[in-house]
């Protein structure tokens, strides 16, 4: 979901540019839903796999956090 959110930002930036709009629009709401929707899935993953296979589960969570950070970075850096 984080990668989808990052791709969404890239597609919109390539097609519409990076102008700040007065209204957030559908793209911003889809991005927010993607970012918030992954939290319950991540919690479920942790509950299910952390007790069974702790080391691989931690790696997966670390990759997820890195992907989420990469999806949030353009918003913070560009001030969108």
Cα–Cα distance measured from residue 59 to residue 1, given in angstroms and rounded to the nearest whole number = 17
At 20-30, the pLDDT tens digits run 767 778 888 99
| Residue 79 half-sphere exposure toward CB, CA atoms < 13 A | 2
- Nearest CA among 74, 67, 79 for reference residue 9: 74
- Compute the half-sphere exposure of residue 51: CA atoms within 13 Å on the CB side of its CA: 4
- Domain tally for the chain? 1
Tens of pLDDT along 28-70?
899 999 999 999 999 999 999 999 999 999 999 999 999 999 9
CA distances from 26 to 32, 63, 73 (A): 10, 27, 20
Q: Write out the residue range of the structural domain in which residue 69 sits.
A: 2-78
């Amino acid at each position: 979901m984080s990668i989808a959110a990052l791709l969404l930002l890239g597609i919109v930036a390539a097609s519409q540019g990076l102008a700040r709009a007065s209204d957030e629009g559908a793209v911003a709401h889809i991005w927010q839903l993607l970012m918030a929707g992954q939290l319950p899935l991540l919690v479920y993953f942790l509950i299910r796999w952390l007790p069974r296979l702790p080391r691989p589960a931690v790696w997966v969570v670390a990759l997820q956090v890195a992907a989420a950070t990469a999806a949030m970075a353009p918003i913070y850096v560009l001030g969108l």
